[in-house]
Amino acid sequence: MGPLVLNTRPKTDSADLEASLQTRGYRVLSAPMLEIEFPAQTRPFDPTPYQALIFTSANGLRAFARLSQDRYQTALCVGDATARLAADMGFNRIESANGDIHDLAALIRERISPAMGPLFHPAARKTAGDLGEILRDGGYQIDRQIVYTAHASQTLPQQISDAIAAHHIDAVLFFSPRTAETFVKLVKSYKLEGELTDTCAICLSPAVQLRTADLTWQRTYVASKPTQEYLLSILDQSFSSV
């Protein structure tokens, strides 16, 4: 049997990830650390003032699909997975930063003129960074609208807490600082902080790794680029080096 990997991503983002893990020969457990809620949209959305749309997550895309059927603007996506979803949803003009929010800001500076009009950014209430602040000195007008909420999990499933206590989990995947922070809080609340010494933490970025530091791991790995592909690559490397 392959190594047992714990996925902490929200359910909305997990289907492709878990399929990739199983294809690679891993056994998979899931404990979503965030639950995504898409509230009902009560006001009509008019996309015509915006020269382009900014998507810093796949859930931003899913929320936009609830706002509008329009797909004619350029979709500026933080990564390739989000860009693929944009293509599946019918967008024809898609740009991918293939990285994190700072890479997306660099893409916007390279491809978009602030003189051509504002940008629309459908996002969560809490985000990993403030894109508007990063681009403020460039004269960009970014209309950020809260279109979904990510609620932190309050419990660990019994199967997961038992697996941690028994030292059965070989690696835990962390894709965002908030999922890592939520996991750490729950592990501490269940008095399991000493039970991960045989487990590797696989982190999307240094910012994510920082949130895992309160727990003692066998080893911590960080993807060389903040994408799912690179995270899975470092996961494979972590076991090939054992």
> DSSP letter at 49?
T
Two tokens, residue 24: 């690679």
pLDDT exceeds 60 at position 91: yes
Q: What is the mean pLDDT of residues 152-158?
A: 96
Q: Confidence band (pLDDT; 50, 70, 90) for 171? A: very high
Nearest CA among 36, 76, 41, 74 for reference residue 56: 76
Beta carbons of 131 and 158 less than 8 angstroms apart: no
Residue 54: its pLDDT value, please?
95
Q: What is the mean pLDDT of residues 190-194?
A: 96
Q: Confidence band (pLDDT; 50, 70, 90) for 242? A: low
Residue 42: its pLDDT value, please?
61
State the span(s) of the chain assigned CATH 3.40.50.10090: 4-33+153-240, 37-151
Beta carbons of 3 and 26 less than 8 angstroms apart: yes
Concatenating the DSSP letter of every residue in 134-177 gives: HTGGGT--EEEEEEEEEEEP----HHHHHHHHTT---EEEE-SH
Q: Note the pTM of the prediction, 2 decimals.
A: 0.85
Q: Candidates 3.40.50.720, 1.10.10.2160, 3.40.50.10090, 3.50.50.60; correct CATH number of 37-151? A: 3.40.50.10090
Nearest CA among 134, 23, 117, 105 for reference residue 73: 117
Q: Confidence band (pLDDT; 50, 70, 90) for 128? A: low
In whole angstroms, give the CA distance from residue 237 to residue 134: 34
Q: At how many degrees (to 10) do helices 15-23 and 228-240 cross?
A: 30
Q: Confidence band (pLDDT; 50, 70, 90) for 126? A: confident
In whole angstroms, give the CA distance from residue 229 to residue 210: 21
With a CB cutoff of 8 Å and minimum separation 6, the contacts of 174 are 8, 180, 183, 201, 202, 203, 204, 208, 209, 211, 212
Hey, what amino acid is at 57? S
pLDDT tens for 27-59 read: 999 999 999 998 877 677 888 899 999 999 899
CATH number of 4-33+153-240: 3.40.50.10090
> Which range scores top for mean pLDDT: 3-12, 63-72, 129-138?
3-12
Residue 16: its pLDDT value, please?
87
How confident is the prediction for the chain on average, in pLDDT? 92
Taking CA atoms, 152 is separated from 57, 87, 99, in Å, by 17, 29, 24
Residue 132: its pLDDT value, please?
76
Q: How many CB atoms lie within 10 A of CB 207?
A: 16
Q: How many CA atoms lie within 13 A of 11 on its CB side?
A: 5
Q: Is 177 left (phi over 0), alpha (psi -120 to 50) or beta?
A: alpha
